[in-house]
C-alpha cells in the first residue's frame, strides 16, 4: 500500500511504541501506542499514528498522547485514543476526544444457564429479543417518556429507570459512575438535540451496536471467575449501545461553537475537528455539562435495554429474571471525558481524561469502585466482532500508573465499510456464521456485511497486548451464540 | 440505475467521499444527494405512505465555505432525524462564503430502507476546491 505511515515509531518494549515529540513542531508530549509487531503493521497502514501525534498538540496535555491496540483512523483523535489535560493549567476539553456517540458503551449480565441447558432455545430467544427490543435507525422505544421525564433522565441517568421499576438498586452499583455523572445541566442541551433524542430510549443504535447471547468458552483467572460467579459454559448477555442522535447533536453543536472559540483562546490545532476550549472556560464547562446529559441518557438507555432483555428471557422460559440469575456484572462507557485525579511524575493532578474508543480500567482499591469490586479491580468489558470472541477483564494498578486507568475498548476496524461491502459476500458470510452456530438477526443486510468479522482486527490479538502490557488482566472469554444488530 | 455523482475513498472506520460539480451550488446539492444516497434506499414496496414532499427552509452561516458545507450537511442530517424525512431535492437560493439559504424537499422516511446511519459530517480532512472550471469536495462522515 502506498500510504503506509512513514513517521517514527520507536520501540519502548514489546508492547509499546513511541512517536517522539520531536516528530512535529508543536507536539507538547510524546505519543505512545500500545501494540505488538503484528498489530503495528495494520496500524502503520492506517493514518491513525498521525492522529496520535496531532492530539499531542492540545494545550494542557500531560504525560503522553496514548493509543490502545485497537486504534484505528477516526476524525480528530483516532479511535482508541486516551489523553488527559491538566485542568488547573489551561488544559482543554474537546468534543472530538469523546466522539459523536457520547457514552457509547457495553454492559454484561450473567445468567444461571449452562449452554447445554438452553442450546435449543437460542433461536427462540433471538427472535423474541428482536421483537421486544426495538432495533435499527430511528426506531422508537417501547418505553416512552414525556418531555419532563426526558429532562429528568439527563440528570438521573440509569437511576430514572430503576425508580420506574426497570431494574434494581444493585444494577446501579454495577454501572460506571453508578449510572449517572453529577453536574449534568439540561439547559446546556440544544432544542434540536432534545428533538433528535426524543423517543429513542430503549432502542439499539445501528452499525456496530448490538445485543449478544454468549457462552463463556475460556477461563483465565480462576480466582477472579469465582469472585464474579462465572464458570465455563455459562450463558452471558452483552448489550452495546450509546446516546444515539441525542449525543451526535451535542457533539456537533459544541464542535461547531468551539471552532469559533479557537481564536478567542489563541489555540492552534492541526485538524479543525480537534476544536476545543479550556476546560474551565464557559464554553468548556457548558460542553462538559451537556456531555454529561448525553452520558446519563446512554446509561439509562442501556438500563432500559437490559430490562427488555430480562423480560424477553422471562417470556421464553416462564420464570423470573432473578431466578435465572440475570444480574449485571458491569457497565462501562467507552466514549467519554471525566475529571479524575491521577499521579503524573510523582505529583497528584486533577485531569480531564478523554477516552475515545477506550475503557476505564481502574485497579483494585480505587475509591470510585463499588464495594464488591474493591478487591478485584474494575470489571472491563471488551466486545469483539460478531464472529469471534468477547472478553471480561479487570483494571490494574499498572493501568493507573501508565494509562490514566484505561485500556482498549474492542477489536478495532481494519477494513473500511466500503471495502467490506465490496469484498464480502453476504450469503457466504451468513453460512460461515451459521456453521459456527451463530444466529444473526439484523435490520439490514448491509449492517451485517459492514460489521463482518473480516472487517475487524482479531480481538484476541488486541486483548493479548493489554494483558501482557499489564494495563488490564484477562478474567474470561465469551463466544457469540446469537446476535442482534441494530 | 442513476449514475452516482460521487465516489468512495478509503477510510478505515468511516465513510469518505469525493464529489464533483460544475459550480458551487451544484457541489452543495450533489454532496447532500450523495449523503442521502449512502444513508437510504427507496423501498421497492408500493408506497404505503404519502409521497407528497415536505418543504423546509434552511438558513446557515459560517466563517468560510468549507465550514458552511459541513454545517449544511449536519443540518440536513439533524432535520432528517427530527422530521423523519429523507431529503431528495435541494434548491439553493443564496450561497456565498458565509451564508447559505435553501429550500429542501423531503420524502417520508418510511418509504425508504435505511442502509447506513450517518452520525455526522466531520471537519476532518475536509476539502473544498476549485479545479479549473469545476468544483470538488471531499468529506468524511462518521458512521
Three-class SS string for chain B?
Answer: CCCCCEEEECCCCCEEEEEEECCHHHHHHHHHHHHHHHHEEECCCCCCCCCCCEEEEEEEECCCHHHHHHHHHHHHHHHHHHHCEEEEEEEEEEECCCEEEEEEEEEEHHHEEECCCCCEEEEEEEEEEEECCEEEEEEEEEC
Phi, psi for residue A455 in degrees, rounded to 5: -80, -5
Are residues A252 and B124, on separate chains, in Cβ contact within 8 Å?
A: no
pLDDT per position as a tens digit, A129-155: 988 886 654 555 556 677 788 889 999
Question: Residue B39 above 50 pLDDT?
Answer: yes
Q: How many A/B residue pairs have CB atoms within 8 Å?
A: 100
Contacting residues of B for A243, CB less than 8 Å apart:
none
A64-72/A79-86 β-pairing? antiparallel
**Pairwise CA distance, residues A425 & A449, whole Å:** 8
Q: Which of A36, A104, A106 is nearest to A69 (CA)?
A: A36
The whole-number pLDDT of residue B110 equals 85
- ipTM of model: 0.89
pLDDT per position as a tens digit, A80-97: 999 999 999 999 999 999
The whole-number pLDDT of residue A1 equals 43
**pLDDT tier for residue B49 given thresholds of 50, 70 and 90:** low
The whole-number pLDDT of residue B114 equals 82
**Pairwise CA distance, residues A196 & B73, whole Å:** 16
Please provide the CATH number assigned to the domain covering B6-43+50-142: 3.55.10.10
The whole-number pLDDT of residue A443 equals 72
A79-86/A347-356 β-pairing? antiparallel
**Pairwise CA distance, residues A194 & A207, whole Å:** 22
| B84 reaches A (C-beta below 8 A) | yes
Active site residue A209: no
In angstroms, the separation between the Cα of residue B23 and the nearest Cα of chain A is 25
The whole-number pLDDT of residue A227 equals 96
The whole-number pLDDT of residue A120 equals 94
Contacting residues of B for A76, CB less than 8 Å apart:
122, 124
Question: Residue B44 above 70 pLDDT?
Answer: no
The grid coordinates listed for A367 are 475509591
Suggest the residue from B60, B72, B79, B122 to mutate for an interface test with chain A (most A CBs closer than 10 A): B122
Instruction: Name residue, grid cell 493514518.
Output: A47
Contacting residues of A for B140, CB less than 8 Å apart:
75
pLDDT per position as a tens digit, B69-114: 999 999 999 999 999 899 999 999 999 999 999 999 999 988 888 8
Instruction: Name residue, grid cell 505512545.
Output: A32
Are residues B124 and A46, on separate chains, in Cβ contact within 8 Å?
A: no
Where chain A has pLDDT below 50, the residues are: 1, 137
The whole-number pLDDT of residue B46 equals 58
Q: Which domains does chain A have, with CATH numbers?
A: 10-485 (3.90.1860.10)
Instruction: Name residue, grid cell 513542531.
Output: A25
Other CB atoms within a 10 A radius of the CB of residue A213 amount to: 26
Evaluate if pTM is beyond 0.90: yes
Question: Residue B16 above 70 pLDDT?
Answer: yes
Name the residue facing B10 among A192, A419, A446 (closest C-beta): A419
In angstroms, the separation between the Cα of residue B120 and the nearest Cα of chain A is 7
The whole-number pLDDT of residue A451 equals 76
Amino acid at each position: 500500500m502506498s500510504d503506509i505511515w512513514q513517521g517514527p515509531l520507536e520501540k519502548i518494549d514489546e508492547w509499546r511504541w513511541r512517536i517522539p515529540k520531536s516528530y512535529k513542531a508543536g507536539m507538547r508530549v510524546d505519543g505512545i501506542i500500545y501494540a505488538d509487531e503484528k498489530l503495528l503493521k495494520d496500524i502503520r497502514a492506517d493514518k491513525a499514528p498521525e492522529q496520535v501525534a496531532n492530539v499531542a498538540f492540545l494545550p494542557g496535555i500531560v504525560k503522553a498522547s496514548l493509543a490502545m491496540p485497537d486504534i484505528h483512523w477516526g476524525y480528530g483523535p483516532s479511535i482508541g485514543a486516551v489523553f488527559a489535560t491538566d485542568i488547573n493549567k489551561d488544559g482543554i476539553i474537546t468534543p472530538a476526544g469523546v466522539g459523536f456517540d457520547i457514552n457509547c458503551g457495553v454492559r454484561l449480565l450473567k445468567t444461571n444457564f449452562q449452554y447445554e441447558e438452553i442450546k435449543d432455545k437460542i433461536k427462540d430467544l433471538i427472535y423474541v429479543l428482536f421483537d421486544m427490543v426495538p432495533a435499527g435507525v430511528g426506531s422508537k422505544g417501547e418505553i416512552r417518556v414525556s418531555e419532563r421525564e426526558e429532562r429528568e433522565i439527563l440528570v438521573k441517568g440509569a437511576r430514572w429507570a430503576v425508580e420506574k421499576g426497570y431494574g434494581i438498586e444493585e444494577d446501579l452499583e454495577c454501572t460506571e459512575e453508578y449510572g449517572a455523572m453529577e453536574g449534568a445541566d439540561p439547559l446546556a442541551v440544544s432544542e434540536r438535540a432534545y428533538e433528535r433524542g426524543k423517543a429513542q430510549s430503549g432502542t439499539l443504535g445501528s452499525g456496530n451496536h448490538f445485543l449478544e447471547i454468549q457462552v463463556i468458552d475460556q477461563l483465565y483467572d480462576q480466582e477472579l471467575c469465582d469472585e464474579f460467579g462465572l464458570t465455563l459454559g455459562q450463558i452471558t448477555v452483552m448489550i452495546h449501545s450509546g446516546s444515539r442522535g441525542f449525543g451526535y447533536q451535542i457533539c456537533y453543536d459544541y464542535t461547531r461553537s468551539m471552532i469559533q472559540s479557537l481564536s478567542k483562546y489563541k489555540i492552534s490545532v492541526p485538524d479543525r475537528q480537534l476544536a476545543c476550549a479550556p476546560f474551565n472556560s464557559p464554553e468548556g464547562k457548558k460542553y462538559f455539562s451537556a456531555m454529561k446529559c448525553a452520558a446519563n441518557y446512554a446509561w439509562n438507555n442501556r438500563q432500559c435495554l437490559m430490562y427488555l432483555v430480562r423480560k424477553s428471557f422471562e417470556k421464553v422460559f416462564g420464570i423470573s429474571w432473578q431466578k435465572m440469575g440475570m444480574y449485571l456484572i458491569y457497565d462501562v462507557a467507552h466514549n467519554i471525558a471525566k475529571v479524575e485525579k491521577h499521579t503524573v511524575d510523582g505529583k497528584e493532578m486533577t485531569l480531564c481524561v478523554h477516552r475515545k474508543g477506550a475503557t476505564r480500567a481502574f485497579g483494585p482499591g480505587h475509591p470510585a469502585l463499588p464495594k464488591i469490586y474493591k478487591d478485584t479491580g474494575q470489571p472491563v468489558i471488551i466486545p469483539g466482532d460478531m464472529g469471534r470472541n468477547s472478553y471480561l477483564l479487570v483494571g490494574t494498578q499498572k493501568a493507573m500508573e501508565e494509562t490514566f486507568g484505561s485500556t482498549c475498548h474492542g477489536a478495532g476496524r481494519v477494513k473500511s465499510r466500503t471495502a467490506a461491502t465490496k469484498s464480502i459476500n453476504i450469503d457466504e458470510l451468513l453460512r460461515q456464521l451459521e456453521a459456527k452456530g451463530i444466529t444473526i438477526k439484523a435490520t439490514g443486510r448491509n449492517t451485517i456485511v459492514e460489521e463482518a468479522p473480516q472487517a475487524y482486527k482479531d480481538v484476541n490479538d488486541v486483548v493479548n497486548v493489554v494483558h501482557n502490557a499489564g494495563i488490564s488482566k484477562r478474567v474470561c472469554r465469551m463466544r457469540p451464540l446469537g446476535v442482534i444488530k441494530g | 440505475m442513476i449514475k452516482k455523482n460521487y465516489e468512495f475513498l478509503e477510510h478505515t472506520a468511516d465513510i469518505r467521499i469525493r464529489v464533483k460539480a460544475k459550480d458551487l451550488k451544484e457541489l452543495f446539492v450533489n454532496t447532500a444527494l450523495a449523503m442521502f444516497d449512502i444513508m437510504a434506499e427507496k423501498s421497492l414496496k408500493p408506497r404505503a405512505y404519502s409521497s407528497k414532499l415536505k418543504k423546509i427552509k434552511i438558513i446557515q452561516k459560517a466563517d468560510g465555505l468549507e465550514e458552511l458545507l459541513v454545517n449544511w450537511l449536519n443540518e440536513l442530517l439533524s432535520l432528517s432525524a427530527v422530521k423523519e424525512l429523507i431529503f431528495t431535492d435541494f434548491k439553493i437560493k443564496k450561497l456565498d462564503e458565509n451564508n447559505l439559504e435553501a429550500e429542501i424537499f423531503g420524502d417520508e422516511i418510511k418509504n425508504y430502507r435505511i442502509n447506513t446511519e450517518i452520525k455526522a459530517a466531520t471537519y476532518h480532512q475536509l476539502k473544498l476546491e476549485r479545479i479549473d472550471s469545476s468544483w470538488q469536495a471531499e468529506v468524511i462522515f462518521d458512521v
